[in-house]
Amino acid sequence: MDQLTHPTQLQEEEILNVLKQFITEVIGEEFVEDIDITPQSSFTKDLEMDSIEIVAFSEKVKAHFGKDIDFTGWLSNMDLDEIINLNLGDITKYIRSCL
Amino acid sequence: MPVVALPHTRLHVQEMNAGAPETVLLVHGMFTNLSIWYFNIAPLLAQHFHVVLYDLKGHGMSDKAGSGYGLQVMSEELLALMDTLQLDTVHLCGYSYGGLIALQTAIHHPERIKRLAVIESPDPQEQETMNIVDIYSKELLTHFVNGQPAGAGAPLGKRQLERRHRMYEFLLKESTIRQDMQQEQHFFEQAAITRIPHDTLLIYGSDSDCVPAGQALQEKISRASLLYVNGDHNIPVQSPFVIGEALQDFFVNGPVKNTTAAYVTDKADLNINLS
């Protein structure tokens, strides 16, 4: 019988895989094929995401991880330069800390 | 992605704090998208209000549109969005061309608006200013896309370049956006502006070329206050927290008491503390 993984058991690697899937959905599979997505990947420099794509990504994070995390609230304390320079490792650590 | 279907277009809409009794509706400007509000200004307002932000058609993740970028049509779409979301009245805030859409709505449907905020809206008569706004908008996009201060000149990635190029090609060459904006050149001259009844907050960048437009609106709208914020036309990006707090204060408490003309009338007093 399959065993459900409780959100609190999520490890950073699992979270990162979820985030990679969201990025694929937002920017498209054909572009992701050419990119090595790692914890060091930043939104704009490495993933070439623009602001409206970061919005779409944020909404997916909120929808998936639910009210356990206040992702928009976390981002709202940063200015735009900080947000677009965030890397996936930062986001993974934040999500992990909330679960 | 939340999409609201209107009679002639489909708009990408985001909402925050949907349970709050009062709503703030945010309208971005030409060549940008709702992300100018999403990260800083909207969350601040959502501490008190239901906040609705949307991509104008042809922008962000809303449907493309070849025509219908004039103020009347854009205002009708704003009202249609309000109807669809069952919002009878809102506090309305627009940036740049979005501010003109807000003014148009305040003129023709004052009953749908509680308080009005206009950020950095140009006088469409000033073609030179409109061109500068256009240039600023492009720099703003570059800023967003690059993750660098506007004008820093960092190289764009191939996909970013292609996306940006596609948007400009479509809006400027295949749509009527330029002609539609030019049709509005007499907008500030109409007497109806002077009859706008709302408490109105005008926010302009101290170094912006649009400052004369803000001053003109302050003279025309009887219950208007003019607030200068350090920066230029890009103040929502340059000073999002100052703007967010100013809007929050205005929508919660109304205009500063004992002040009928302006928060700040002297450009020497620009470094104000709103808290």
B12 phi/psi in degrees, rounded to 5 = -80, 120
Residue A39 clears pLDDT 60, i.e. is over it: yes
User: Can you give the residue range of the structural domain that contains A35?
Assistant: 7-98
Mutate to test the interface with B, among A24, A42, A48, A70 (most CBs of B within 10 A): A48
Could you read off the pLDDT of B145-169 as tens digits, one per residue? 554 444 344 455 677 777 777 888 8
In a domain, A11, yes or no: yes
ipTM for this model: 0.85
pLDDT of B194 reads 97
* DSSP string over A31-91: HHTT----TT-BTTTTT---HHHHHHHHHHHHHHHGGG--HHHHHHTS-HHHHHT-BHHHH
In a domain, A2, yes or no: no
The answer to whether A45 faces chain B, any CB pair under 8 Å, is yes
pLDDT of A34 reads 80
Q: Read off the CATH number of the domain in which A93 is found.
A: 1.10.1200.10
pLDDT of A2 reads 53
The answer to whether A56 faces chain B, any CB pair under 8 Å, is yes
The average pLDDT across A28-55 equals 87
Give the pLDDT band (50/70/90) at residue B215: very high
**Domains of chain B by start residue, with CATH:** 3-267 (3.40.50.1820)
Give the pLDDT band (50/70/90) at residue B81: very high
In a domain, A19, yes or no: yes
Question: Among B188, B183, B215, which residue's Cα sits nearest to residue B71?
Answer: B183
pLDDT of A30 reads 82
Q: Yes or no: say if B118 and B99 are a contact pair by the CB < 8 Å rule.
A: yes
pLDDT of B135 reads 63
The answer to whether B60 faces chain A, any CB pair under 8 Å, is yes
In a domain, A50, yes or no: yes
Nearest residue on chain B to A50, judged by CA atoms? B145
First vs last Cα of chain B: how many Å apart? 35
Averaged pLDDT score across all residues of chain B: 86
In a domain, A16, yes or no: yes
Question: Among B239, B231, B227, which residue's Cα sits nearest to residue B265?
Answer: B227
- Within 191-250 of B, beta carbons closer than 8 Å to A belong to 237, 240-241
Pairing mode of beta strands B200-205, B10-16? unpaired
- More confident: B14 or B170: B14
Give B-chain residues touching A27 at CB under 8 angstroms: 159
The average pLDDT across B237-264 equals 80
Q: Yes or no: say if A98 and A74 are a contact pair by the CB < 8 Å rule.
A: no
Domain count along chain A:
1
Could you read off the pLDDT of A1-32 as tens digits, one per residue? 555 555 545 688 899 999 999 999 998 888 88
CB contact under 8 A, A27 and B159: yes
Of B2, B34, B39, the CB nearest to A75: B39
